[in-house]
Amino acid sequence: MTIAIIAHDGKKAEMVGFIKDHTELFQKKSIQLIATGTTGSHLERANLQVEKMRSGPMGGDAQIASRLVEGEIDMVIFFRDPLGKHPHEVDVSMLMRLCDVHNIPLATNHAAALRFIQTL
């Protein structure tokens, strides 16, 4: 199973905390993590194995969306900052739309992500 991990700047600390709280699950060999560049760097500093794409504003969201369309991603956890301005909001919307089009589970906050991982 491949899980994409993304977090806006204002949510990166929360994302790292979430992943660390569930490290045992995310370190299983059957689970692969892929992340946008900056989020991936934060996860690496937390001693997690992650494949990093470019940062979101530099095309990382689009790279993850491409993998999703190719059937290579099974779930997306995207801690969005609904109160912040994001120059790449078009990419974020595209990724979320493609999750719907391809029927990929998408958690956009801590509570939804927790429910998703409880099913694993």
Domain of 17: which CATH number? 3.40.50.1380
Catalytic residue among 9, 21, 61, 100: 61
Residue 83 pLDDT exceeds 80:
no
Q: Who contacts 16 (Cβ-Cβ below 8 Å, separation ≥6)?
A: 42, 43, 45, 46
Q: State residue 67's pLDDT score.
A: 97
Residue 91's closest CA among 71, 99, 83, 111? 99
Task: Return the H-helix or E-strand segment holding 54.
Answer: none
Active site residue 61: yes
**Whole domain around residue 73: which residue ranges?**
2-118
Q: What is the pTM of this model?
A: 0.91
Q: What does the pLDDT look like over 52-78, one tens digit per residue?
A: 999 888 889 999 999 999 999 999 999
Q: State residue 100's pLDDT score.
A: 96
Domain count of the fold of the chain: 1
Please give the average per-residue pLDDT across 99-114, as a whole number.
96
Residue 95 pLDDT exceeds 80:
yes
